[in-house]
Chain A
Amino acid sequence: MTDQTPPTPAPTSPPAGQAATLEFQHVSKQYPGAATRAIEDLSFEVGAGQICVLVGPSGCGKTTAMRLVNRMIELSGGDILLDGASIRDHDPAGLRREIGYAIQQIGLFPHRTVAQNIATVPRLLGWPKARISARVDELIELIGLDPAQTRDRFPGQLSGGQRQRIGVARALAGDPLLMLMDEPFGAIDPINRERLQNEFLRLQAELRKTIVFVTHDIDEAIKMGDRIAVLRPGGVLAQYATPAELLMAPADEFVEDFVGADRALKRLALTHVRDVDLWTPALARSGDATAEVRARLAGSDVPVALLVDADGRPQAWLEEHDLRGPVVGEVSGRHSLVTVERDDILRDALSDLLARGVYYGAVVDRRGTSCGALSIEVISDYLVEHGAETEHPPPERIT
């Protein structure tokens, strides 16, 4: 490290949980003999503890850009600063030991046990044996496996998902300032990929590492990224923005096209039920006078009343024939009642409504108490209000 930035940590032993800032400054890369550049004047900054996703079609140089950071590929021009200091000032092997590295094909050492694999970087860093051993167990637990059962197995004895987790644990082992991840979940089936992504986000919430994450999958980028760098072929930065900005205001046609015609729907994946203006349903309890309920209905957004129990938990929507008697009677639970939680992802809630063929869902808080109603209309209002162009989707793109 140079003395340009005053309080930089010693590069060999960063304190636990330390994360670096990363800055690309007019970075370019031209391979010898190539007519065009792989990376062209790439500049962006990643804050400490953020996940920056590099995304783009194949041949856009996203992997090249990532590999420039730990000098697996050498820069042709510009500079990359790690905590303010140029990566050129580190020798490559030393630099790489400070940077976690996880790739799609994992590349576990088949001749080493899980423990030995995870211990790779700590051993290179010369940690004492006891510390390495403790670190290995800590990481195996962190990724949700049992240390006693897993430690001494060889990679060939593990499932694909387990190997992927070990790969991530190995990348984390030296407590790196920065993690580089090249499509780490790319070779996993969709169901397990989703699980690994969620696990990883949960881990990241704890670890707060700075991460450069490469993917070709825009959905993964939107899900994983704090910031997304969209690259176009030729290694030119098309847009650098938060996922929400990217979906709401694509910088140009290329980004708009890459993000996809369903970007309105994608935005639903970033939104929670609590974020939209929920409707207030008329509540009715068993024994309430029907006249009173009808009066409440008149002032409500939802055309049917919601029957709740003594604790305010939704039981059923009351239909016209339920309100014929003088008082509201017991109504056995109807299939048409869909409840969603306030903290649910809006996309999942919409999917629930559509799957069950209903227009309204009762929204509950964590205790299960009714706190509003979600309707398809509410969701579409939200999207219109927040600038999504839903009127003219390009016809050829249905993804």
Chain B
Amino acid sequence: MSDQSEVNRGRRSLVIASACAGGAAAVGTAVPFAASMLPSERAQALGAPVEAEIGQLAPGEKLTVEWRGQPVWIVRRTQEMLDGIKRVDDKVADPKSERKKNELTPEYARNEYRSIKPEYLVVVGICTHLGCSPQDRLKAGPESFESQWTGGFYCPCHGSLFDLAGRVYKNKPAPDNLRVPPYTYLSDTRILIGEDKKAA
């Protein structure tokens, strides 16, 4: 190998400088490739709000509509169901919807029933654990997973439980309550999901 004295320092600096410039250009080129994997304009447009007609919904029934490819549940709760929600306040992890509230619970749903009108629950039917869609166990009565069941949802994947306000039970895999999407009433029987008054 050559001695230190034989190194042409000026040339070496140029080599280092051009290697750095080339490296920076290579990294820069990676940006468009990585960006091409983000949701496309079309995918973002499909995130547009959807309307749901709730006039036909009988008390105690559930309607599922698709918003952004996800199931959104609308449950018309009976008075008995609403009373059941109050009874499980001490069994749920976050009864007052205080965790990640900007993400999960819009301001108008930060109440006992997590809804604008107590009668109608509107939540995204995707478990906050790993994204399965929980099953309906709307009726109160003993269940294999909970003897004092007051109605709600059961996730088959990892056993998380949610009450009829979408609040998660304590010590279950799911960390948070079900998400309440932004929504607003267009009339007494029509709901717009995906947009609220503030944004409109």
A binds B: no
Chain B residues near A (Cβ < 8 Å): none
A residues neighboring B (CB under 8 Å): none
